Amino acid sequence: MLEVENIHAYYGHIHALKEVSLTVEKGEIVTLIGANGAGKSTTLKTISGLLRPRKGSIRLDGEDLIRYAPHEIVVKGIVQVPEGRRIFGRLTVMENLEMGAFSCPDRRLNSANLERVFNLFPRLEERRNQVGGTLSGGEQQMLATGRALMANPRVLLMDEPSMGLAPVLVDSIFDTIRQLHASGTTILLVEQNARMALQVATRGYVLQTGTVVLSDTAENLRRNEMVRQAYLGES
Amino acid sequence: MKHSIWQDGIKIGLIGGGVGVLLSLIGMVEAFSQRHIISNVISMGHTLLLVIALLVGYMAAKRASQTQPLRVLANGLISGLMVGGLLALLVMVGNLVRLRAVFINASPVLYKLLTFDYGIGSGIFLLLCAGTFSGVLSGLFYLSPALARRVLLTSLSSVVMAGVLQDLLRPTFALWGPLAIINEWLFAANGLTIQGAVSLFILMALIIYFWAKRGSAVKTGFRGLPPTKQRALRTTGLLFLIIVLLILPQVLGLFLSEVLTIVGLFVLLGLGLNIVVGYAGLLDLGYVAFFAIGAYTIALLTSPELGFFGFSFWSALPFAIIVGIIFGVLLGIPVLKMRGDYLAIATLGFGEIIRILVLSDFLRPWLGGAQGVGKIPKAAIGSIEFAGPQQIYYLILAGCFLVGFISWRLRDSRLGRAWMAVREDEDVAQAMGINLVAAKLLAFATGAAFSALSGAIFASKLGSVYPHSFNVMISINILCLIIVGGMGSIPGVLVGAIALVGLPELLREFADYRLLVYGAALVAMMLFRPAGLWPEAVHRRELQEEESVGTETESLSGPEPGKQEGV
């Protein structure tokens, strides 16, 4: 469904991504794992159009995405849950969700999406009129995810959803991801928490200093010696 | 909370006393005492010091809880005493040392004022008593029930306002025969009469008291009416307001109409900048540039002095707005990637570029250089010419209605949502599918269009344009008025323009202290009402009242540190 082929991206002179290729098939959860600065978030940024690759191609169902602006890519169906949640702190939960539906003018679809989000996160429905900034970290992550779902994504890009959350909330975030998967959402998940990520994912890619060093099914990656040592902290 | 009982009172009192001494030394007290609030009883200068003592007393009293009345009174007393004491100290020092060598205003007149004309000895005693007394009064005020506080505060401040704005009220009443009686009752040659002040106080107190008792009943009664009746009542109210606005210049006379037109021009400017800063969160410090562009486009197209086109005002107006929009976009493109402080500096530069361009000798044949352009024709419809302030008022009023309506519709539009998202978080806005480039350029263009309209009316109002009318202070002024009014709020713009443009025009005789008061008001605003006098949040709260009453409203009205970002 989503095919990223040999992309090279730069921050100024810094060669941040060197020939990164990956694919995400419909209904899959694919995870990108790697250390800080390995290029995980950069890959997401490139896919969502915020960073233009110098070489390579990004295709969604065969259509080249590189010529589109970021807001057009959202309309095409690639929606990001940004790193650090980045909800609109001064707007209410409802307004945040409405903002998520900005790219999607179909009202009926929006109310169906809203229902779906509230089913997934009943907590958000309880707090629909609360200001986003006053939510707890876990609720903010729910809101950020819900907001992205309001855009009716075909591929959901999740950037470090477990960052800065208490362990119990991390579990619930991954439960949500499983639920989304079960309902057929396609997800590209970037995580530092490799252990959890590899538990929910179908396949995974390991990034090191801007290149894919390893790609396999999640199960095989979990067993891989190098992954176990470097990312799962086992010896 | 283990510090001594005296500490709060002394600390706050010293601050207040310091302010009092400062205001005396810079001559504000003396200048203000020219005008009497209540004729031959209290002058504005004394009122100023009294207000300081009362305020300080209240703040000190507030440090203690209402359950400890003695402590409250002690705090008030001490702080009041401190204010009086510092002023007394000033009088004593002034009598020993020639302060005048440094402070030109430390004159015998000032000392006479401070000692109430009773000479050093008893005067200082009186001063101390007055300070102490006001402090205690504030303490009592703090202890009194909320309703009494509200009644007292509103009635007293309306008496003071009536005194301060006597030059506004007196001619207004004088215009209509029957109302002249009010004038005689209320006003003496300088200031209110005693009976006038007392009756005004009682009247206001009664109104506030009854509104407090019955106000909620009236409101629920209104809500209980069937929707059609509610709408009818609203329409009547609106019609009444429009009629008042329409006859206003006839009632207020020439000078006040002039003030109104100036306020109106700033409302237009404020509504435009409100879109750029308030809606889209783009801090633009060069906003005056578009005002200048609108004014100069009119000048270029209409003035026979330049002799290029000789358009009428109306046929030049669309061009002025279009040129404004073009420049808005032209400015927008290079600063698309800039944020916050960087954007502010870049736009500041743009404003200066435009001012220096119109000032330059290079463009002199077209734009008149330092001499400006004169003989700009007045706008006219048929045989009605918008010549004086009383006619131009209607032109500006129409502009304000139009621009206000557009602002209001834009706010709730899809574009308005996009701006809101951009203001809150640019990156996420983009990730939500918002076209950042379009949203920003449209904000700049809309703001520039409103500003150019204001500039066009300004040019035709003055009949001439000069480069020095378009300095950076205008931009700062507009920014201040939308901050004071409340970012993103349409009525806030009106309130801000009245407070920061209208009031200073009315109090011209104290123009020396304009910037001081201005600065103090801004600091106070940021401390006590960071969201503005008429914040947008109120509106939002109203809309959601049925659904939620609890948590959300609290967190919206509270001072939020994040509220000031981008200012």
Pick B435's closest partner by Cβ from A69, A86, A98.
A69
Q: Please name every residue paired with A27 in a beta bridge, in sequence order, or none if there are none.
A: none
Does the CB of B417 have a partner CB in chain A at under 8 Å?
A: yes
Do residues B321 and B453 lie in contact, with contact meaning Cβ atoms separated by under 8 Å?
Answer: yes
Residue ending a domain, choose from B143, B173, B203? B143
d(CA B509, CA B199): 28
Which residues are CB-contacts of A6 (< 8 A; sequence separation ≥ 6)? A19, A20, A21, A55, A56, A57
Q: Are residues B422 and B311 in the same domain?
A: yes
Q: Which residues of A touch B424 (CB under 8 A)?
A: 88-91
Residue ending a domain, choose from B89, B123, B143? B143
Q: Are residues A223 and A169 in the same domain?
A: yes
Helix axes B313-332, B436-462, angle to 10 degrees: 140
Q: Which helix (H) or strand (E) holds B148?
A: helix B146-164
Count the domains in chain A.
Answer: 2
Distance of residue A89 Cα from the nearest chain B Cα, in angstroms = 8
Q: Is the pLDDT of residue B188 over 70?
A: yes
Residue ending a domain, choose from B143, B164, B188? B143
Q: Are residues B438 and B305 in the same domain?
A: yes
In a domain, A185, yes or no: yes
The whole-number pLDDT of residue B394 equals 93
* DSSP 3-state percent helix, strand, coil across chain A (nearest 5): 40, 30, 30
In a domain, B44, yes or no: yes
In a domain, A139, yes or no: yes
In a domain, B252, yes or no: yes
- Please provide the average confidence, as pLDDT, over all residues in chain A: 91
Q: Is the pLDDT of residue B142 over 70?
A: yes
Q: Which residues of A touch B437 (CB under 8 A)?
A: 69
Q: Which residues of B touch A133 (CB under 8 A)?
A: 555, 560, 562
Structure tokens at B440: 């920003």
Q: Are residues A20 and A122 in the same domain?
A: no
Q: Is the pLDDT of residue B564 over 70?
A: no
Phi, psi of B97 (to 5 degrees): -115, 145
The whole-number pLDDT of residue B251 equals 78
Residue ending a domain, choose from A104, A135, A153? A153
Helices (H), B63-145: 69-96, 108-114, 120-143
Of the pLDDT bands very low, low, confident and very high (cuts 50, 70, 90), residue B546 is very low
Residue ending a domain, choose from A109, A124, A153? A153
Q: Are residues A62 and A165 in the same domain?
A: yes
Q: Is the pLDDT of residue B431 over 70?
A: yes
In a domain, B163, yes or no: no
Q: Are residues A217 and A171 in the same domain?
A: yes
Q: What is the pLDDT of residues A170-191, one digit of tens each?
A: 998 999 999 999 988 999 999 8
Classified as helix, coil or strand, A55 is strand
Q: Is the pLDDT of residue B544 over 80?
A: no
Of the pLDDT bands very low, low, confident and very high (cuts 50, 70, 90), residue B537 is low
Q: Are residues A68 and A165 in the same domain?
A: yes
Q: Are residues A168 and A137 in the same domain?
A: no
d(CA B368, CA B359): 8
Domain CATH number, residue A170 = 3.40.50.300
Domain CATH number, residue B314 = 1.10.3470
DSSP track, B402-425:
HHHHHHHHHHTSHHHHHHHHHHH-
Q: Are residues B329 and B450 in the same domain?
A: yes
Handedness of CA A12, A16, A19, A20 (dihedral sign): negative
Identify the weakest region by mean pLDDT among A30-34, B204-208, B322-326, B524-528.
B524-528
Q: Which residues of B touch A80 (CB under 8 A)?
A: 431
Does the CB of B430 have a partner CB in chain A at under 8 Å?
A: yes
Q: Are residues B278 and B393 in the same domain?
A: yes
In a domain, A177, yes or no: yes
In a domain, A82, yes or no: no
Of the pLDDT bands very low, low, confident and very high (cuts 50, 70, 90), residue B558 is very low
Q: Is the pLDDT of residue A23 over 90?
A: yes
Q: List Cα–Cα distances, A47 to A43, A181, B342, B427, B438, in angstroms.
A: 6, 20, 28, 15, 22
Mean pLDDT of A133-154: 91
Do residues A43 and A209 lie in contact, with contact meaning Cβ atoms separated by under 8 Å?
Answer: no
Q: Are residues A163 and A149 in the same domain?
A: no
Distance of residue A93 Cα from the nearest chain B Cα, in angstroms = 10
Q: Are residues A149 and A162 in the same domain?
A: no
Pick A99's closest partner by Cβ from B421, B437, B548.
B421
Q: Is the pLDDT of residue B224 over 80?
A: no
Structure tokens at B61: 């009293």
Q: Are residues B448 and B553 in the same domain?
A: yes
Which residues are CB-contacts of B114 (< 8 A; sequence separation ≥ 6)? B24, B29, B87, B88, B90, B91, B123, B127
Interchain CB distance below 8 Å, A86 and B427: yes
The whole-number pLDDT of residue B218 equals 79
Mean pLDDT of A38-67: 92
Mean pLDDT of B337-350: 91
Report how far apart the first and last C-alpha atoms of chain B are (Å, whole number): 35
Of the pLDDT bands very low, low, confident and very high (cuts 50, 70, 90), residue B555 is very low
Minimal Cα distance from A134: which residue of B? B555
DSSP track, B81-95:
HHHHHHHHHHHHHHH
The whole-number pLDDT of residue B566 equals 37
Q: Are residues A201 and A98 in the same domain?
A: no
d(CA B21, CA B15): 10
The whole-number pLDDT of residue B339 equals 86
Q: Is the pLDDT of residue B4 over 70?
A: no
Mean pLDDT of A7-15: 92
Mean pLDDT of B306-330: 93
Count the domains in chain B.
Answer: 2
- Its domain, for residue B37, covers 1-143
In a domain, B104, yes or no: yes
Q: Is the pLDDT of residue B138 over 80?
A: yes
Interchain CB distance below 8 Å, B433 and A129: no
d(CA B45, CA B43): 5
Pick A129's closest partner by Cβ from B433, B552, B563.
B552
- Its domain, for residue A98, covers 87-153
Q: Is the pLDDT of residue B58 over 50?
A: yes
The whole-number pLDDT of residue A133 equals 86
- Please provide the average confidence, as pLDDT, over all residues in chain B: 86
Q: Are residues A51 and A114 in the same domain?
A: no
In a domain, B191, yes or no: no
The whole-number pLDDT of residue B3 equals 57
Q: Are residues A121 and A179 in the same domain?
A: no
Structure tokens at B108: 């015998």
Q: Are residues A208 and A175 in the same domain?
A: yes
Interchain CB distance below 8 Å, B431 and A80: yes
d(CA B111, CA B21): 11
Do residues B136 and B76 lie in contact, with contact meaning Cβ atoms separated by under 8 Å?
Answer: yes
Q: Is the pLDDT of residue B542 over 50?
A: no
The whole-number pLDDT of residue B435 equals 93
ipTM score over 0.90, yes or no: no
Q: Is the pLDDT of residue B167 over 60?
A: yes
| DSSP letter assigned to residue A202 | S
The whole-number pLDDT of residue B559 equals 40
